[in-house]
Every structure is written in structure tokens, then in C-alpha cells.
Structure 1
């Protein structure tokens, strides 16, 4: 458990992570600003909208800002994700997004905790399972295929996106897979956010027959050790309902929730 209280952790998260962008940018990725918003394009077929806050915009001015995003992505084609947090203001922002055609996706919980206790533990996996750091496109494709099998939707874009991140800055991200008998059974990656004390954890999907064997926990511990080697002090995860209890038992605490609002043109 960290000595920082939940409100302090949330403020640090808002200040250091919410408006952060990759630096250097991977090939094909662009960042644009529209008022308080940051639009990130090129990681996959869609776009991503984030912000520290909306600068006090309300009413008609906020509706105009939202409408500009709809117009932009309608002209561009594809989809865009507006990353909404439960403590965002104004309180009627979700209603305004829905009125503009955005659709809420599954809620996730932002959890944060200290790196040091996790980094002090050994990542333990069962017999026949090994953890391995990977960079090759072949391994990234295998991870994407595993993710597709877990979620039942095409996740092939993950391989190309991670490949571009690694090429742009191999020190900014580490991809770790869990392998058994030549099969990728789980995987996760850790990003070391520049200019902050944070490492952020992503992925962690596990094939159904391999769940409840401690693989997810081992991947978290392994990546925490990588974060400690890079002098990061805090871990952050956008946690699903399935992973949140595990992460809380490992010492991470909920600070807010986030809901992707997706507009598809």
C-alpha cells in the first residue's frame, strides 16, 4: 500500500498521465490539439481523444467541441475513442457525448500502486510455463492471435502498433509473453512514461484453460521488476472487473473509473 492517499494519487495521475503522448512518436502516429483535447491518430484504424481536463467548458461551447470531433472523424472515416473519467467535469458530459452519437463501452477502474513491493517479489509460474521478453514481429503476431482468440474480435492491429512503438523507442516499452509448449497462453506489456514516475501495464489477457494458475500475477510482478530497473515508482493499470481484484490484492488501489466512449462514422 502506498503512503499517498487516493486523492493525491488521482491528482498525480491526472497531471502526469492523462495528457501524456508518446515521445518520440512511432512512424505513422500523429498528435493534434483542439482546445483542451489531444487527438492521437495512427495507432490503429481509429483515433483516440484524451485531455487533462476540459478547461471549464460547459453548455453550447462544450457541444461545439464535441461536434468538431464528430465532424473530423466522420470526414476521416473509422472510429474514435473519447476516454471519459468518472471525475471529469461537467457532470453531464456523458449525456452530451451520447447525444452526439458516442456509445459507452465497458467501464474500467484506474488502479495505482507502488512499484517497490511488487518488484521485490519473484514472478512465479507453474511447471511448463515460461515468461519471455519479445520484440520480433513473429512473436507480436502470435500475441495478437492469442488476444483475438480470448476476445473473439480481430486484434491483429496490436502487432503492428507494438512493432512501431518498439522501432520508435525500444526503451519505452517491453512486451512479455507467457508460453507453454510453444503456445502463447498470456501476454502483457509495460510502458515507461517519459518525464513521470509511472510505468503503465497493458494486456494481461490469458487463454481460458490457463486462467487461475497465477500467470497474470506473475506477469504483473515481472513487469514491476522491469519498472524498478528504470527507476519508476508507481504502477498504473486500467483494470477490467476480472483483473481488478488481483491487482488490489497486489497493493494497487482504485483512484477513479474510466469509460471509453466510441464514435463510429
Structure 2
């Protein structure tokens, strides 16, 4: 089962599944080098490295760094590694070329039906889609405040960017929240990936004093039901150690790990 889920993840969520319609793309060997919307950040995506190893892999990494350094204005770019990719020494070679690893997360994948369950909520807590039964901008602002309380400032998109994305991509991007007495106590996004059977669970956060009461599970169930209603079969998440056991209890399976390796332009 895990092998089949990993195969679906590799086939559908890499390369095209990670590239936005309006992305600025450059092909270097098996890699797509992407410049993200603000022009300051880049992203490297690929299905696999097509056998590059040793000196050939070093040369490929050098080409990518030279591209972003010399042909773009990006401040930094991410090379997103997966734990099951070959060769095994890729990460060592990235570090040798100046990349810095961020926190490793677990890639969780599973059938959406496994999460679309009824979950009882504490008295007074309501789960709803942002902008439905409330003002979208206000809902997004309060959800962003929660994210900052839980993960720290700058851990997610700005409220302005979030609202703009929700409005521009309402057919595939939704924000979900659990609130009580006007206070958002849990929130997370659902992003349907066009042209695939997948939707992603992103930005899940719950106030520390409200954890362990089924709220995050109910929030995830609401997103799963919405995904199923829009033809999605699989849900995926790059999960922290906090959210991984919750998703695993509801049928998602760890299929690999992922670690972002970040190259940052040297200060002049």
C-alpha cells in the first residue's frame, strides 16, 4: 500500500504538480528551475535525477546555482529533497555547494475517504470555511494571528497574500477554521492540485490550550469532505512531528521524508 501511495505521489505531485500556471521556468538537465511570483525566491523541482551522481551531480548543482546567481534576481531558492531519492549522498553534495537544510518533515499520503469522518467538537466550537458565515478578510486575519501564535511570525503567508490567493483561486484553495466566542483556535488550508487526484493539507495549527480535544481532527475531516466533493481521491501533507500522528490515526501513511535545502545569495 505504501509503495502505491508513494508512486502516486511521485507521478502526480512532482514537476508539473509543483509548478504554478504562471511560473517562470528554466530547464537544466532533469530539473525545472522555477522563479516564484514575487521574483525574490526560487524553487527546484524534478521527478528524479536521471542517474546523475558523483562529479556529474556536482556539475548539475553548480549549473543550478550559477543560473539563480547570475541570471536571476532571487535572494534564495529551495531544492526540495525526498528521502527515497537517489543518490543517497545528494544532501551532502548540496551542503558542499552552500545549501543549508531546514527541518525534515514526513510526507503523508492517503485516501481522502479515510479522513472524511464525523468528529464531535467541544461545546461552543464551530468548524467552517473562511468567508462562509463570516467576512473573508477578517477570517483570514484571525487565522493568520493563530498561525503566528503557534509557529511564530513569518511562518505563513501574509494576510494580504492569503486573501488575494483565496479570492483568485477559490476553485481550488480554501481556508478552514475552528472558532469559539469569536476566537480562532484551529485553522488550516486545503489546496486542490489541478490535473491530479490530490489535494494538500497545509498550515494546520491549533492553540496549545485547545489541543487533544479533537479539533484539529475535525478541521481535517471538513477539508477531506470538501476535497471529496470536488473529485479528489488522495490527500497529502508535509507533516511535522505534531500533526503526523493525527493524520496517521486517520489513514494517511508516511511514504517518504522531505527536507528543503536553501541556497541564499551571498551579501555583497
Same fold? TM cut 0.5: yes
* TM-score when normalising by structure 1: 0.88
Q: Residues of 2 paired with 1:180 and 1:43: CA distance?
A: 35
Cα RMSD (Å): 2.1
Instruction: Please list every run of 5 or more consecutive structure 2 residues that lacks an aligned counterpart in the other structure.
Output: none
Name 1:129's counterpart in structure 2: 125
* TM-score when normalising by structure 2: 0.87
Residue in structure 1 matching 2:13, options 9, 17, 20:
17
Name 1:109's counterpart in structure 2: 106
Deviates more, 1:139-148 or 1:243-252: 139-148
Q: Residues of 2 paired with 1:154 and 1:69: CA distance?
A: 27
Q: Give the SS at the match of 1:80.
A: strand
Q: Residues of 1 paired with 2:67 and 2:157: CA distance?
A: 22
Q: Give the SS at the match of 1:144.
A: helix
Q: Give the SS at the match of 2:115.
A: helix
Q: How does 1:183-198 map to 2 (within 5 A)?
A: 183-198=183-198
Q: Give the SS at the match of 2:227.
A: helix
**CA deviation map 1:111-150 (0-9, x unaligned):** 111112322x224321222222125334323322221221
Instruction: Please list every run of 5 or more consecutive structure 1 residues that lacks an aligned counterpart in the other structure.
Output: none
**CA deviation map 1:192-216 (0-9, x unaligned):** 1112111211111112222222111
Name 1:68's counterpart in structure 2: 63
Deviates more, 1:42-51 or 1:241-250: 42-51
Structure 1 position 18, deviation (Å)? 1.5
Deviates more, 1:94-103 or 1:70-79: 70-79
Q: How does 1:1-265 map to 2 (within 5 A)?
A: 5-19=1-15, 20-21=17-18, 24-25=21-22, 29-43=23-37, 45-74=40-69, 76-119=73-116, 121-135=117-131, 136-155=136-155, 157-265=157-265
Q: Residues of 2 paired with 1:130 and 1:43: CA distance?
A: 34
Contact 1:84 1:258 in 2 (8 A): yes
Structure 1 position 30, deviation (Å)? 3.4
Contact 1:103 1:262 in 2 (8 A): yes
Q: Residues of 1 paired with 2:220 and 2:49: CA distance?
A: 33
**CA deviation map 1:50-83 (0-9, x unaligned):** 2111122222332222223333444524222211
Q: Residues of 1 paired with 2:191 and 2:58: CA distance?
A: 33
Q: Residues of 1 paired with 2:156 and 2:195: CA distance?
A: 30
Deviates more, 1:63-72 or 1:190-199: 63-72
